[in-house]
Amino acid sequence: MTFKPAPWPRHLRSQEWFGGNGRDQIYHRGWMKNQGFPHDMFDGRPVIGILNTWSELTPCNAHLNVLAEFVKRGVYEAGGFPVEVPVFSASESAFRPTAMMFRNLAAMAVEEQMRGQPMDGCVLLVGCDKTTPSLLMAAASTDLPSIIVTGGPMLNGYFKGERVGSGTHLWKFSEAVKAGEMSQEEFAEAEASMSRSAGSCNTMGTASTMASMAEALGMALSGNAAIPAVDSRRRVMAQMSGRRIVQMVKDDLKPSDVLKKEAFENAIRTNAAIGGSTNAVIHLLAIAGRVGVDLTLDDWDRCGREVPTIVNLMPSGKYLMEEFFYAGGLPVVIKRLGEAGLLHKDALTVSGQTAWEQVKDVTNHNEDVILPADKALAKSGGVVVLKGNLAPKGAVLKPSAASPQLMVHRGRAVVFEDIDDYKAKINDEALDIDETCVMVLKNCGPKGYPGMAEVGNMGLPPKVLRKGITDMVRISDARMSGTAYGTVCLHTSPEAAAGGPLAVVQNGDFIELDVPNRRLHLDISEAELAERLAAWKPLHPQYDSGYAWLHQQHVQGADTGADLDFLKGCRGAPVGRDSH
Ligand code: FES
């Protein structure tokens, strides 16, 4: 892509607040001077907002205040004026009912912070799952020059000499406890072993996936995604990004220059190659909606089909992010896509270089971590998009985390009307279920939960686990943690709470899953389906006030990214009025 830098010097939007000697400008400068900034800091140099999702209740981001200092170094070195600004931090591990309900609220809040305050460019300091997409959505809607710096993953976890991965082993160990194979004391010890340093989940879960998506989209400097949180090179990355954003402001290099359809296709293929989280589907659709790129679920299936999963990381494989970094990290994967003809090589990135220029000379240092194509974990690693009378607008499945023997399966439905119904019944020995059944969970979508929780990878019933069975076909309108695994059909659209066919599945119905033919079918007649849908009544929690109400009224389906309808699109960052 050809990009022509804007002329420099020129008038910046921050000068509307700080430049000149009008009453408003004196007022704004005067207040800032109470922090000890000298007068020449307001002379027209780029003001860089360091938007920091630091929070002690977002443990994955709890070290970002340290990284912010390194971003500041870089901004000062390049002649900018850094201002650190705390922003909404949607913690994956602590927010109820689910962090996903707050992704859009965070995006809305950050967008207004960017637009309403004197910033010429932004460094987005993120890490935990929802913090990365929410700030990217905000940046796409304001179109202010922006660069992502993620906090980086935690170091490897080890328990009894074996690698243990965030989330992935939590699911495994909790099933082992249910099956009577692990004690509660061992579980507590394993839990501590999993989280032994600052940083985000160390598996290729949603945080690592979204860091990789930011890099593959071209919104972070090359190599950003995999550097461990506590590695000194993470600080160097922060400093370099601080330097770079100043030049991006001078050049007027904006998100809309980078976030083209080609960038999204590069990211989708990268997701397939890394065995990334299904959550990336929803987040990329939402980001595309903000920047006006026509991206659909079908693009996910089309672009991912031809890409093998070559990154041998949990939950699909065996290693963790620390080893991915030592092997060369994401630049090696992007280079491999380029060599295979699967990369839009000339896609522009925030570095000013193209996607190809910045990876063409990198080396793979470990072929057991980044595998040769003939040893791929899945030949066709892309997220599969299923359609049929059970999912007219689509459902997704991650083949690299699923069981090959279940890819074509017909089974009797065992239905849970909502998450409470599931919790009440799943451990009941009298539940009429065996491993050939299909578990169906309703009312866990964007509107229904509300917020589309990560409950789609329902744990199996103990009586099935005791037989040594670890996977069954599961279908829901929920999401699944990027650290999870299984033959799990997710994001079924329209969701049950919106009256989609999922809402009318009954115990004893038969369901057909056919991954090769992309089919998800409820085996009842059209007339029967129509009759049931006509008789359907909503069964999800209803709110009449507060943000939950706003969310339920305006959230869109998972098939288009589950954004709020009135937040779609780019609104820019015009300088508004001021009066005191
Ligand atoms: Fe925050 Fe996994 S819970 S990165």
Which tens digits make up the pLDDT trace of 196-239? 999 999 999 999 999 999 999 999 999 999 999 999 999 999 99
Q: What is the pLDDT of residues 311-343, one digit of tens each?
A: 999 998 999 999 999 999 999 999 999 999 999
Our mutation pick for probing the ligand 1 site, out of 155, 166, 210, 481, counting the most ligand atoms within 8 A of Cβ, is 166
DSSP labels, 482-497: TT--SSEEEEEES-GG
Q: Is 363 exposed, middle or buried (0-12, 13-18, 19+ CB in 10 A)?
A: exposed
Q: Which domains does the chain have, with CATH numbers?
A: 46-155+197-375 (no CATH), 158-194 (no CATH), 384-539 (3.50.30.80)
Locus of tokens 């929410």: 134
Residue 64 in tokens:
């970002």
Q: Report the run of H or E that residue 95 belongs to, with start and end.
A: none
- Per-residue CA distances from 131 to 149, 272, 414, 449, 543 (Å): 11, 22, 35, 20, 25
Protein residue closest via CA to atom 1 of ligand 1? 128
Torsion of CA 279, 285, 287, 291, to 10 degrees: 170
CB 126 within 8 A of CB 147: no
CA of 507 to the centre of ligand 1 (A): 35
Kindly calculate the radius of gyration of the chain based on its CA atoms and give it in whole angstroms. Answer: 24
CA–CA dist 342, 335 (Å, integer): 10
Which atom of ligand 1 lies at the shortest distance from residue 167's CA? 2
Q: Where are the alpha helices (DSSP H) in 367-447?
A: 419-425
Exposure string for 129-149, b = 16+ CB within 10 A, e = fewer = bbbbbbbbbbbbbbbbbbbbb
Which residues 6+ apart lie within 8 Å of 160 measured at CB? none
Atom of ligand 1 nearest to the CA of 92: 3
CB-based contact 329:397 (threshold 8 Å): no
Q: What's the rounded Cα separation, in Å, for the pair 357 and 392? A: 41
Structure tokens at 39: 């007068």
Q: Can you tell me the distance from the alpha carbon of 392 to that of 355, in angstroms, rounded to the nearest whole number? A: 36
Ligand 1 atom nearest to CA at 93 = 3
Q: Write out the DSSP string of 501-532.
A: GGGG--TT-EEEEETTTTEEEE-S-HHHHHHH
Angle at 545 between CA 542 and CA 548, to 5 degrees: 60
Locate 98 and state its tokens. Answer: 């689910």
Distance 61 CA to ligand 1 centre (A): 9
Residue identified by tokens 């070559």 is 310
**Ligand 1 midpoint to CA 60 (Å):** 6
Mutate to test the pocket of ligand 1, among 55, 56, 129, 210 (most ligand atoms within 8 A of CB): 129
Short-list 413, 416, 438, 411, CA closest to 426: 416
Atom of ligand 1 nearest to the CA of 166: 2
| The ligand 1 atom nearest the CA atom of 129 | 4
Mutation test of ligand 1: which of 61, 130, 168, 200 has the most ligand atoms closer than 8 Å to its C-beta? Answer: 200
Peptide bond into 97 cis (omega under 30): yes
Ligand 1 mutation target, pool 53, 64, 92, most atoms within 8 A of CB: 92
List, chain by chain if needed, residues with CB within 6 Å of any ligand 1 atom. Answer: 60, 92-93, 128-129, 166, 200-201, 205, 207
Question: For ligand 1, what atom is nearest to the CA of residue 58?
Answer: 1
- Reading the chain (580 residues) residue by residue, the pLDDT tens digits are 689 999 999 999 999 999 999 999 999 999 999 999 999 999 999 999 999 999 999 999 999 999 999 999 999 999 999 999 999 999 999 899 999 999 999 999 999 999 999 999 999 999 999 999 999 999 999 999 999 999 999 999 999 999 999 988 888 888 888 888 999 999 988 888 899 999 999 999 999 999 999 999 999 999 999 999 999 999 999 999 999 999 999 999 999 999 999 999 999 999 999 999 999 999 999 999 999 999 999 999 999 999 999 999 999 899 999 999 999 999 999 999 999 999 999 999 999 999 999 999 999 999 999 999 999 999 999 999 999 999 999 999 998 889 999 999 999 999 999 999 999 999 999 999 999 999 999 999 999 999 999 999 999 999 999 999 999 999 999 999 888 889 999 999 999 999 999 999 999 999 999 999 999 999 999 999 999 999 999 877 789 999 999 999 999 999 999 999 999 999 999 987 765 6
Atom 2, ligand 1: residue with shortest CA distance: 201
Q: Is residue 412 within a helix (H) or strand (E), and if so which, with residue range?
A: strand 408-416
- Cα–ligand 1 centroid distance for 481 (angstroms): 10
* Contact call for residues 452 and 98 (beta carbons, < 8 A): yes
C-alpha 196 chain-centroid distance: 23
CA–centroid distance, residue 200 to ligand 1 (Å): 5
User: In whole angstroms, what is the distance from residue 488 CA to residue 473 CA?
Assistant: 6
Q: How far, in Å, CA of 142 to CA of 119, rounded?
A: 11
173-180: long-range pairs with CB below 8 Å, 24+: 174/459, 175/459, 175/460, 175/465, 175/470, 178/427, 178/459, 178/462, 178/465, 179/462, 179/465, 179/466, 180/466
Nearest 5 degrees, angle CA 215-CA 221-CA 224? Answer: 65
